[in-house]
Each structure stands twice: as structure tokens, then as C-alpha cells.
Amino acid sequence: MSAPSVSELREIALTQQEYERTVEILGRTPNRLELGMLGAMWSEHCSYKTSKPLLRQLPSAGSSVVLGPGENAGVIDLGGDLLCCFKIESHNHPSAIEPVQGAATGVGGILRDVFAMGARPVALLDAIRFGDPGEPLQRHRFARVVEGIGFYGNCIGVPTVGGETYFDESYAGNCLVNAMCVGIANRHQLVRAVAAGVGNPVLLVGADTGRDGIHGATFASVQLDDSAEERRPAVQVGNPFLEKCLLEACLELCGHEALIGLQDCGAAGLTSSCAEMAHRGGVGIELDVAKVSRRELGMTPYEVMLSESQERMVLVVARGREAEVQRVFDRWQLRSDVIGSVIAAPELRILDSGQEVGALPLEVLVDGFLERHPESRRPELVDRARLEEPLLLNPPWSPEESWLRLLRSPNCADPRWIFRQYDHQVGDDTVVGPGGDAAVLRFKGRSDGIAMTVDGAHRSAALYPFVGTEMAVAEALRNLAVVGAEPLAITNCLNFGDPDQPDVMWQLTEAVGGLAEAAGALAIPVVSGNVSLYNDFRGAGIPPTAVIGMVGRVQRPGTAPGMGFRNAGELVVLLGGLGATLTGSEYQRLAHGAVTGPMPQLDLAAEAATARAVWELVDRTILSSAHDLALGGLAVTLAECCVAGGVGAKVGLPLPPPPDPLPGWAHGALFGETAGGYLLSLPKANLPILQEVCALHRVEWDVIGEVGGEMVEVSGLASISLSVASSVTGEALPSLMARP
């Protein structure tokens, strides 16, 4: 075969240098099929060639970790017979082009990663980001992504229990859709994605193979541009019904001794699933593409090997027991084809009706790529923006006006419009569903449960990717703490722009450093994750967006007090102090646009201590409500507690104003963010217990006010009526989405 042209190499996302490397290490010129397989496997999406050197810093060990990164999903021990498998993954580019199917297949893919481990998926969460929803295209994308998530999750019968939605102009060209799935397995049902036993048959089960999604993995590894619409054929179409049958059939087989290994067929299709299974097992796989059931006529071996048709799984089965396994799939009316077998030679060998059409050593296919170390440089713009003091700017609106604008902002508004479209209860285990800080699920037949949350880095990460990512970890920790959960492990999805831009590489390096630092200091292992690079549109990258999924253990799932204030006369307590800054805050976004200003370091030791105090307070059931201080600062958090509980409150600041305040001082105190703080309420009689617990954990606390009345008030600074706050935040999304 003659050397491929530049445009052919671009199509499979191999550089000239990488092509030359394949020729050198193979000692021959790869044919077109082999080149296609190499292109997919060496793509950023499959190989993590740019991020891998950074990801090695992440702590992945811990006493509860059963399986860390490298498998389909991370696995942690829940004690007794139960294991928890979970992972988050992006489906950003497909969702930008075809939002319903892009989001739906993102959900379908992450579900397969979890049931491939033998775990029954029990919960889904989503982190999604779009441009300004005031614009019709962004509104359309947002509405259709929500529809797609619901379409898949609702139909397959896995509850969508939580998520995070964020809007900012910087996501207008490239939306983010990150889906997380949590599954529960019995210990003896855990399955590995490993091929073993020479001569054992390899089965492909589920959907027929079509031309959809060819080069999906490479598509995910290049920038979006105006011609992206033409790539719609690279977006797959989901069939949640088929996946439901596939899920039930696979779970029936998990724990069955005839099943040796199980792997989902995701990015790079059969190529990646077979290569990875064989490589993990130190064996090879030979498969015949003619034995693969097709949806379309005339498919070439190249197309069969790179198809990303959804709802397919690859199984390795004990020789002679194919019929037992196939009976299970027959019962669920699913196709199962024996397409090949395990071989001793460590290679992926492809036949077409018995004729060899390609063969690649697995160490080349899976591990042969060169790790990349693109240049990393902090842009000068960042240095300049860091020096500007946001409090020097004159606020455009009064404190009250700002407060209402924040409550109306789709980022702070009541998210009910979104989650009422998701079945969040199926499975009968949802104790705390969406709309709170973290979701809580119980285990039937046990007294304990699990809590889970997803939290993404906020705007400050654009200037401070290290601290901004640490803050996402800390926020996840706080969200778990208020429902009484002790963190067990992290999954993460790193959404970044083009790493060949030095500023993006700097962001990625800093963000991974921040994640490693926070996870290490808080002793929460990172057990799974996904990296999504090239999130650019017309050369402009998205802000650095690390999304953290965190799972924790709850001793008694019924103890979460909720965020809403309950009873007039109860005390409002600020825990952890108010070290707020306007840098990167939602107020700064609305009032001034750009992200500017200094950023304090995050005190991770204090975060850990405060979280421990909060678990203990929740566990002792002395609180009437608990909520962490997040977007919109003290004022918005206070309003959320009041609106959720249907009762007002009057609080004061824990510190007096400075003698000569800057113009934005009041706004900074009301709407400043970043502090590791919590807003709690409790009956006066319980205060001594709070005092005792806070003293034990050395946590700062202040009684800042009282629950009651019809107003939401921060003394001396601003007050708004509860009914206005309630209708403003409740009506914001429905009225926005009712626009044509």
C-alpha cells in the first residue's frame, strides 16, 4: 500500500509523525484497515495520550477501593456483600450537533460501562453546560439535551437523581454533556473486561452493526467548526429499549461461571473493546467480520471494525458453553453472534470470511502511541486579570435588584423545570432526589445508603484552574456533608479546549494538579474518569471545566434534613466563616461580565474538618436544615433556604463593615463566593450540641440570625419579600423555556 495522503491521515486523526512510527514499529506499511484501527485507538479519546502523563498524579488508592482507573468503571466496597461501580463520561461534540441523540447515547454509553462490570445501574446524574439560554439556539440545545437524557433514562428505567446545569456565553459553540452512572453489584457478580483462555469464543451481542458513528472517537478528538453539521452521521442513534433488554440479559449472566469477560462496545467499537479485553488478559483475539450481524449491506471490514453502533457488548465465554449463554440472549430477543475466539498470540487478528485482512500486535494498538507533552504557558491576560480588584467597580444595581437578578439567573433558579422531565424514583430507592444538594439512595434490606453529587468548576477556574478545580472537589464534599454522607471516591470528567494551545495545556496541567491536591488532602481516591479535549468552536476553547462526581456513604438515609428552613424562631448558623470573594462569582458574571480579581487559597484542612462536623450534626439529627454556601453567596443561599422551607429569615453579617468600604463592599458581602461555608438552622435547645461538635472539630461557627417572617433579610444590607423571591426563582426557567 502506498503511503496515505495528508487528508487521509487527517480523516483518521493520525499525524505524519504517528504514521511514520507505525511503519517503524510494525516493520511494514499498515494497510487501510489497520491504519483506521490505529487512528481510532491512538486518538486522544481512546489513548489519553495528552492527559495520561498528568493523570498519573491522581491518588487512586484507598481502603475502600476495589478497582481503580483502567476498567470500565471504578469499584468501591460498601461493606457486606455490596460493591458500588461508578463513572462519568462526556458526550459533548455529538450533543452540540444532534442534542437529543447526542445526550441520549451519552447516557446509554455510561450505563453500559457500569453494567459491563456486573453492577445494576441504580442512578444517573448529569452535568450540562450551554451558552446564554436567552438565545434560541442555546435554548433549543438545552431543551433537547434534557429531552435526550430523559428519553434514555426514563425508558430504560434508571432514575436520574441529580445533576448540575450551568449557562455561560463561553459554552455557546461547544456545549457540555457529562453523564454519570452509579451501579450496585453483589461481590460475586463483579465481572472484569478481560479475555482469557485460548480457544474460548468471543461473542458480540445486542444491536446489529451499522455504519453509524464511524470515527466517533476521532470526531471527539478534533475541534468543532462550521462544517460540524456535516458530521451528523458520526452521531449514533440510541435505542434504550434494546439496551434495557441487554442490561437484563447481561446481569443474568454475571456471576455465571460460563462468562469469562464482558466489555461494552463504545468508542472505536469492536476494535477497542476486543483489543482492550485481550490486552488486559495478556492474550490475543481473532475475529471474523463476516460473522458480525449487520444492519446495512456492503459494509467493509474497516466499517465493521470501526462502527460505533450503540447497544452492543462483547463477551468472552467458556468454550462449549456458548449455547447456555446464547439462550439467555434469545430469551430477551437479542442477537448473539460468535464472532471469534481467544488466541495465544498477543494480537488483534481480523478475518473476512476466513481470509486474514489485518493483524496488529496489541502492544502497538493499545500502548504504541507516544505520549504527548505539548507546551504549557500561562497567558499574560490571566496575570493582568488576576490583579484587578472586583470590589473597586461600582455596582450597576442596588443590592435588592442584584439579589433578584441572581435569583432569576438560570444558574441560580429553581431547576424543577429540568428534573420533572426525568424519572427520579424508579427503583424505589430514592430517599433524596434532585433539587437538593446531593441525592441519597437507600439499600433495600440494609440500614445504610449512598449519596452522590456532580459539581463542576465554576468561572474562577478560567483564571485559577488549580484552585477552581479544588473548589469543585470541595463543593462536592460539602454537598455530600449536608446529607450526612462521608465521601468514598471520586470520578471526574475533564472538559478542556485544544491542548496544543499553550494556554489550554496550562489550564489542564493546573486543573489536574488541583484535583490531585484536593483528592489527596481530603483522602478521597479518584477511581474512574474521562478526559474530553478539543472542546473548541472556531478556535475558541471552553473555560477549563473539571466536573467532579462524588459518591459517599450514609449511615441512615432518612437523616438528611434538607435545605429548607422549617420553624419560626429557630436559629440560623453560619458554619465555616464567610471568606467570600467576588472573583468568578455569579454576581460578577451578571454585573461585569469578565472574570477578574484575586483568589484566596483553599484551606483543604478546614474543608475536611467542617465537613466532618456537618456529618456529625446531621447524624445526631439536631439540625432542621443544612445547605452549603455556593453560587450567589450568602444572599442566594439564604433565599434558597427560605424558599425551600416557605418561611423567611433575618440574619446579619458575622463581621462589621470596614471603616472605609470600597464601592462593591456590600455586594461582595452578600454575593461573594468561594468560602467553605454552610448555612444551618436548628432549635435553640440544640445549640449546646452544635457548640460541642464544632469545638471538637475546631470549626468556626456564628449564630447569624433567626428563622421567621415574610422577608428574607440581611440586616443593614438588603431585604426582599419571600413571596417575590419564591416566584422569581420558581418562574425563571419555565418562563424562559416557554419562549418560542
Partner 1 sequence: MAFRFGIAVFPGTWSDRDCAHAVGLTGAEAVFLWHADKELKGADCVILPGGFAHGDYLRAGAIARFAPLMEAVAEHARGGGLVLGICNGFQILCEAGLLPGALLRNRDLQFRCQDTTLLVEPTDSPFLATIASGSRLRIPISHGEGRYFADPATLAGLERGHQVALRYCSPDGDLDDAHNPNGSLSHIAGIVNEAGNVLGMMPHPERVCEPLLGSEDGLRLFGSVTTGLAAAGR
Residues in the chain: 740
Longest CA–CA span in the chain (Å) reads: 86
Q: Cell 434558597 sits at which residue?
A: 640
Residues 297, 428, 656, 659: which binds partner 1 (CB under 8 A)?
Answer: 428
Residues sharing a CB contact under 8 Å with residue 2, sequence separation 6 or more, in sequence order = none
Minimum distance of partner 1 from residue 645's CB (angstroms): 17
Residues 231, 280, 335, 442: which binds partner 1 (CB under 8 A)?
Answer: 442
Give the x-and-dash track for 279-318 against partner 1 (CB under 8 A). ----------------------------------------
Minimum distance of partner 1 from residue 206's CB (angstroms): 13
The Cα 480–Cα 626 span in angstroms is: 11
Helix (H, G, I), strand (E, B) or coil at 256: coil
Pick the stretch among 235-243, 482-490, 627-635, 703-711 that binds partner 1 (CB under 8 A).
235-243
Residues 679-718 that bind partner 1 (CB under 8 A): none
Minimum distance of partner 1 from residue 423's CB (angstroms): 5
Q: Measuring CA to CA, which residue among 667, 670, 683 is closest to residue 639?
A: 670
Give the x-and-dash track for 327-346 against partner 1 (CB under 8 A). -----xx-------------
Residues 174, 200, 223, 239: which binds partner 1 (CB under 8 A)?
Answer: 239
Interface with partner 1, residue 97, by CB under 8 A: no
Residue 635 phi, psi dihedral angles, 5° rounding: -65, -45
Interface with partner 1, residue 115, by CB under 8 A: no
C-alpha cell at 270: 469492536
Would you please indicate which residues are annotated as catalytic (active-site) residues? 45, 91
Pick the stretch among 79-87, 240-248, 587-595, 711-719 that binds partner 1 (CB under 8 A).
240-248
Residues 57, 300, 421, 719: which binds partner 1 (CB under 8 A)?
Answer: 421
CA dist 455 → 290, 551, 610, 619 (Å)? 45, 12, 19, 23
C-beta atoms surrounding 190 within 10 Å? 18
Residues 32, 52, 187, 244: which binds partner 1 (CB under 8 A)?
Answer: 244
The Cα 414–Cα 734 span in angstroms is: 9
C-alpha cell at 612: 466532618
The Cα 401–Cα 724 span in angstroms is: 12
Nearest residue (CB) to partner 1, 422 versus 701: 422
CB 253 within 8 A of CB 325: yes
Interface with partner 1, residue 240, by CB under 8 A: yes
Interface with partner 1, residue 420, by CB under 8 A: yes
- The site that binds partner 1 (CB under 8 A) totals a number of residues, namely 30
The Cα 50–Cα 497 span in angstroms is: 12
What are the respective helix, strand and coil percentages of the chain, to the nearest 5? 40, 25, 35
Residues 90, 430, 469, 491: which binds partner 1 (CB under 8 A)?
Answer: 430
CB 502 within 8 A of CB 452: no
Residues 265, 431, 490, 617: which binds partner 1 (CB under 8 A)?
Answer: 431
DSSP state letter for 133: T
Q: Which amino acid is at 21?
A: R
Interface with partner 1, residue 121, by CB under 8 A: no
* Residues 212, 95, 165: CA angle, nearest 5 degrees: 155
Pick the stretch among 149-157, 168-176, 480-488, 708-716 that binds partner 1 (CB under 8 A).
149-157
Minimum distance of partner 1 from residue 593's CB (angstroms): 33
Minimum distance of partner 1 from residue 302's CB (angstroms): 31
Interface with partner 1, residue 167, by CB under 8 A: no
Q: Measuring CA to CA, which residue among 618, 614, 607, 582 is closest to residue 597?
A: 582
Interface with partner 1, residue 739, by CB under 8 A: no
Residues 157, 654, 709, 730: which binds partner 1 (CB under 8 A)?
Answer: 157
Interface with partner 1, residue 559, by CB under 8 A: no
Interface with partner 1, residue 555, by CB under 8 A: no
Residues 242, 406, 485, 575: which binds partner 1 (CB under 8 A)?
Answer: 242
Interface with partner 1, residue 205, by CB under 8 A: no
Q: Measuring CA to CA, which residue among 428, 448, 441, 438 is closest to residue 483?
A: 438
The Cα 37–Cα 610 span in angstroms is: 50
CB 283 within 8 A of CB 202: no
Nearest residue (CB) to partner 1, 156 versus 505: 156
Nearest residue (CB) to partner 1, 57 versus 421: 421
**Interacting residue ranges for partner 1, rule: CB under 8 A:** 147, 150, 154-157, 239-242, 244-245, 332-333, 419-428, 430-431, 442, 444, 557-558
